[in-house]
Amino acid sequence: MASKWQTTRLLHGVRAIFGGQGPPLILIPGWPQTAEAFSGIFEPLSKHYQFYALDPPGLGESPAPANGYDTANVSKIMAEAVHDLLKEKPYHLVGHDVGGWIAYPWAAQFQSRIKSLSILDASVPGFLPPFQFPMSNQTNLRLWQFSFNALPELPEILTQGRERELLTWFFNLKTVREDGISKDQFEGYIQAYSRPGAMSRGFEYYRAYETSSKQNLDFAKTPLDLPVLALGGASSVGSGMVNMVQSFATNVSGGAVDDCGHFLPEEQPSAVTQKLLEFLKANEKE
């Protein structure tokens, strides 16, 4: 990551990387990533927006949430941190993977503060289709972590001291090309998730998935009416993101990013930047 970007701590200890000038843009990464997941798009975004890439509570260098990992609680913590920073300024919100899980209830609870919402390749709790067992091999490969990570104790037993092996397999599985994740980014993720307790804190998001699902289904009784961009990697969720997001929002656009797996900001930074900037500029208002 270029040294020009600064790092700070927001309310509740939330770690933020920030830079650029212009309207505020909030970026939330997923698991097993950190705020550096967006480092490949910091530069082009910074020419138009002041971005803040945040480590979600319990991930990266942000402390664990005090009252649980359900996304209604986590999103409230993060929203409070951003609102304390920006005061009354409205902002754009972008979430990838678990960051997308967080971004939806954030928008549902604080819609009046948000100009637009973008969700990148995320199976938002409450809106996955029902599955019959045994699942197909393709589906199992895509969703295995939802069952494994949610188990009590076993994930820690099997992954302690083998974080590199797990994350190497995971990123290779979910990217289209071998160089989909840069070496520097990958090593940063290994370092972050090899810290004591780091894998457990990531697993807790999956252990709270059922609770988050119930919360989101309740939020969805009042659909979002702000502009929402839904993007999926063509070799991952793809254009199915649009159908999923239409379950809780009325003004949805988006589709698939070609030659891309699950990790959109890392695998296709140029394409993602172009789609984001087109959407953000079309929905810029004070």
Residue 284: what pLDDT? 85
Tens of pLDDT, residues 13-26: 999 999 999 999 99
Tens of pLDDT, residues 7-55: 999 999 999 999 999 999 999 999 999 999 999 999 999 999 999 999 9
Q: Nearest CA to 30 among 22, 18, 38, 40?
A: 38
Q: What is the mean pLDDT of residues 234-258?
A: 97
- Residue 206, judged by CB atoms within 10 A of its CB (0-12, 13-18, 19+), counts as buried
Bigger pLDDT: 256 vs 178 = 256
Phi, psi of 231 (to 5 degrees): -120, 140
Distance of CA 119 to the CA centre of its chain: 8
Mean of all residue pLDDT scores within the chain: 96
Q: Is the pLDDT of residue 235 over 70?
A: yes
Distance of CA 258 to the CA centre of its chain: 19
Q: In what order do the strands lie in the sheet with 252-257?
A: 6-9, 15-19, 50-54, 24-28, 91-96, 114-120, 228-233, 252-257
Q: Cα angle vertex 122, ends 258, 110, to 5°?
A: 125
- pTM of the model as a whole: 0.96
Residue 135: what pLDDT? 82
- Cα–Cα distance between 150 and 147 in angstroms, integer? 5
Q: Is the pLDDT of residue 159 over 50?
A: yes
Q: Is the pLDDT of residue 129 over 90?
A: no
Residue 1: what pLDDT? 42
Give me the CATH topology for the region 6-283: Rossmann fold (3.40.50)
Q: Is the pLDDT of residue 2 over 60?
A: no
Q: Is the pLDDT of residue 3 over 80?
A: no
- Per-residue pLDDT band for 114 (boundaries 50, 70, 90) equals very high
Tens of pLDDT, residues 185-208: 999 999 999 999 999 999 999 999
Q: Hey, is 18 helix, strand or coil?
A: strand
